Structure 1
Amino acid sequence: MMNKIKDVNDFNFKNKIALVRVDFNVPIDNYGNITDDTRIKYSIPTIKKIIYDGGKIVLISHFGRPKGIPSKKYSIKFLIPILSKILKRSVQFCENCIGKYVEEKIFKLKNGDVLLLENLRFHKSEEKEDNKFSFELSKYADIYVNDAFGTSHRIHSSIITVPKLFKNKKCIGFLMKKEIYNLDKFLSKRSKKPITIILGGAKISSKINVIEKFIDFANYILIGGKMSYPFISMINNKNTDDINIKLKKSITNILYKNKKKNIIILPEDVVLSKNINNINHIKITSINSIPKKWEKLDIGPNSITNFFKIINKSKTILWNGPMGKFEIPKFSRGTMSIAKKISEITIKKNIYSIVGGGDSLYALKQQKCINNISYLSTGGGAMLEYLKNKTLPGIKIIYS
């Protein structure tokens, strides 16, 4: 795949306007500080290449879910200082992403200038395949560059419809190239065994297809977090009324295959709370004897030990999703332990590790071991989608 798709090295951007779709949907804390700038840092080589060529850059991105309503809360103007600092030049900003004011700003750009347009999702048309909106976004640019891996699984205007308007003047950036290379490496026969996939988080619906696909590929699949409980309910044939028919079918198929393979490892014990705000209302119990009205908030110590045994003998590891409600310190031990262990074994035994998803990256950062991982993916959902289909809609469109 990497030999066929055009990237920024296939173009000379001198005197050209590049419309660069980046994914600056970065996590921020309550004070507006960026808690993980991986996506911004990974996009810089693409921007610098265009600057070096003598091109003009128009950056477009979404941020949050403003649902088509402009607001100060979701403005991406806060990115200007960090971009200006990293690029060592004054990055310009425009209060909209389409319209006459945008046209005037673009018209005044000089070679080497960088202009960031306002949040694409201030327009409802961004989250559709809207031809008119796409034309307005694209009409002054010469070349389209997609460097937004984390959003390329979405059928949105800036990802799907805009590139169609550029015919053969479209390509991927270095961030996207890096993602494809590393995920293809993981999927290839070059992956050293044992291969372990660790999945957590709450949304089982977005990960069930990945489990179905990888039960024939991985040596171990460790499942933690909220998404592990439907599996446990199905095994014990308890509390299955809340599981929809489609999901039940998928879990049944996975468990049937697992009888022969025995590669799926589920939590044995769990940290519970009756009142999330009261530290006295916490206990650890077997996964099979959870009392009613107690909430499952982290994997327990026996589960951590079992997961560690598998991680210790792994030579390739992929991790996506927390083991519990890790943003509350009382329930962070499972997630933080996994983060630290993957980091340790990557360095100690020189294994190949990939971690993707905002929560997992945040846990690594909290443990001060984010730089020990072999590859940090800028997409959570996009990474899983790519692993499932070996491509994404935003990548496929660059070929056409």
Structure 2
Amino acid sequence: MQSADIVSVKELDLNGKKVFIRCDFNVPQDEFLNITDDRRIRSAIPTIRYCLDNGCSVILASHLGRPKELSQKYSLEPIAKRLARLLNKEVVMAKDVIGKDAKTKAANLKPTEILMLENLRFEKGETKNDEELAKELASMADVYVNDAFGVCHRVHASVEAITKFFDNNHKGAGFLLLREISFANNLLKHPARPFVAVVGGSKVSGKLQALRNLINKVDKLIIGGGMAFTFLKALEFDIGDSLLEEELIDEAKAILARGKELGVKVYLPVDVAVARTCSSDALMSYVPTQEIPNGFMGLDIGPATGKLFREALSDAQTIWWNGPMGVFEIEKFSKGSMKMSHFIGDSHATTIIGGGDTADVVARSGEADEMTFISTGGGASLELIEGKELPGVKPLRVKEGEL
């Protein structure tokens, strides 16, 4: 799976064209709609600047959240303002997605001007991969560029269906998308060894295929977070009221057995932070994993586990991390995730962070600048590691002799 056969924005004739760029501006906001982390907006700037430098007029499209109805809360207006400040350039805001306002503003857009469409998910057809919506979006521009890695695993109108309305000379991938794919490919094909995968988060089910794929490629596998309890249960530990996916115990056993067969060292927590409830006012204590009391649940890794995991990472040359070590949103259960972030940030390895919650942990711990690469997409990054072809990327590939 080479990124070489994906058409890059650099290979397209952009001169003076109208370019539709699908971005991923799904950024976190506080209760006052202030953007709390603009990394995804900043990540799109190289592609936007490249198009502007080629005399293009640029139409930007993104979703934000999961709106059930048209609401100011989900408007892309704050994103347009932040982008205008980062680019030091006006960003015209459309009042709708494919309505009269958007169409008129798109038609009147002059070279080097930028238009931001309203939240794509205000249109019901976006998540249904509706071809009519895709056709309307495509009609506004001459060229389509996908730079929204975070949604490339979704079969949505602005990601997949829209590509049917542009030929190979008029559609391609932006710089962020190409970078994400090349990092994932190189990670799996040519990692510097020892290669250590750190996998956390609440559920095994969401990461099962990635674990199956990784166990054949890594030298060590560190498992934390809620998913660790299904593995501990597979080893016949009593886990109290901790999170358990009973139906996946056999899968967990199979992954542990495969690790043993291949000589891959699998590390599980040796102590955990437990409490009766998952809340900030719950009384917390640390216990060995063999001694989780009935009625208590494990909500973070303990200090001994932190030391064990740090030791396991000490000789790593490549580290891939996806998923927190505990319920990091609650401060008293965030220590394990923060420590893991510091250990990985301090290491001399090539460090690749799967997006989503893991990127959030890294930002909170202040280690973002220490990481080699932080993916902008949690689900998409995971599917690449699983070895899947992303539906948003597939239409941007060309067969030999086509372009």
TM exceeding 0.5: yes
Q: Which residue of 2 aligns with 1:388?
A: 386
CA distance in 2, matches of 1:143, 1:175: 17
> Contact between 2:221 and 2:264, CA under 8 Å: does it hold in 1?
no
1:6 counterpart letter in structure 2: V
Q: Which residue of 2 aligns with 1:336?
A: 338
Q: Which residue of 1 aligns with 2:401?
A: none
- Evaluate the alpha carbon distance shift between residue 3 and residue 59 of structure 1 in structure 2; reply closer, same or farther with a 3 A threshold: same
CA distance in 1, matches of 2:388, 2:356: 21
2:147 counterpart letter in structure 1: D
Query: Cα offset for 1:88?
Result: 1.2
How many percent of aligned residue pairs carry the same amino acid? 36
Query: Cα offset for 1:195?
Result: 0.3
Q: Which residue of 2 aligns with 1:312?
A: 314
Q: Deviations over 1:207-254 (max 9, x none)?
A: 111111111100111111111111111221767996354x34422321
* Greater alpha carbon shift after TM alignment, 210-219 vs 257-266: 257-266
SS of the aligned residue for 2:160 comes to: helix
Tell me, which stretches of 5 or more residues in structure 2 are unaligned? 399-403
> Contact between 2:233 and 2:249, CA under 8 Å: does it hold in 1?
no
Query: Cα offset for 1:96?
Result: 1.2
CA distance in 1, matches of 2:176, 2:10: 13
> Contact between 1:271 and 1:283, CA under 8 Å: does it hold in 2?
yes
1:98 counterpart letter in structure 2: I
SS of the aligned residue for 2:125 comes to: helix
Q: Deviations over 1:132-157 (max 9, x none)?
A: 11111111211110000011011111
SS of the aligned residue for 1:198 comes to: strand
SS of the aligned residue for 2:198 comes to: strand
Give the root-mean-square deviation of aligned CA atoms: 1.9
TM-score by length of 1: 0.94
Q: Which residue of 2 aligns with 1:9?
A: 10
CA distance in 2, matches of 1:44, 1:391: 26
Say whether 1:353 aligns with 2:355: no
Q: Which residue of 2 aligns with 1:284?
A: 286
Out of 266, 269, 282, the position equivalent to 1:267 is 269
2:272 counterpart letter in structure 1: V
* Greater alpha carbon shift after TM alignment, 179-188 vs 17-26: 179-188
Map 1:122-201 to 2 at 5 A.
122-168=122-168, 169-189=170-190, 191-201=191-201
> Contact between 1:215 and 1:263, CA under 8 Å: does it hold in 2?
no
1:327 counterpart letter in structure 2: E
1:236 counterpart letter in structure 2: E
1:365 counterpart letter in structure 2: A
Query: Cα offset for 1:392?
Result: 1.3
Query: Cα offset for 1:32?
Result: 2.4
> Contact between 1:14 and 1:111, CA under 8 Å: does it hold in 2?
no
> Contact between 1:195 and 1:316, CA under 8 Å: does it hold in 2?
yes
Query: Cα offset for 1:376?
Result: 1.2
Q: Deviations over 1:7-54 (max 9, x none)?
A: 111123222111100001112233323232221111100000110111
- Evaluate the alpha carbon distance shift between residue 357 and residue 241 of structure 1 in structure 2; reply closer, same or farther with a 3 A threshold: closer
1:99 counterpart letter in structure 2: G
CA distance in 1, matches of 2:249, 2:297: 22
1:155 counterpart letter in structure 2: V
Q: Which residue of 2 aligns with 1:367?
A: 365
> Contact between 1:184 and 1:390, CA under 8 Å: does it hold in 2?
no
SS of the aligned residue for 1:226 comes to: coil
Q: Which residue of 1 aligns with 2:328?
A: 326
Query: Cα offset for 1:363?
Result: 2.1
> Contact between 1:224 and 1:322, CA under 8 Å: does it hold in 2?
yes
> Contact between 2:218 and 2:264, CA under 8 Å: does it hold in 1?
no
CA distance in 2, matches of 1:267, 1:35: 32
* Greater alpha carbon shift after TM alignment, 294-303 vs 271-280: 271-280
1:117 counterpart letter in structure 2: L
Tell me, which stretches of 5 or more residues in structure 1 are unaligned? none
- Evaluate the alpha carbon distance shift between residue 253 and residue 165 of structure 1 in structure 2; reply closer, same or farther with a 3 A threshold: same
CA distance in 2, matches of 1:244, 1:66: 33
Number of corresponding residues: 393
> Contact between 1:196 and 1:316, CA under 8 Å: does it hold in 2?
yes
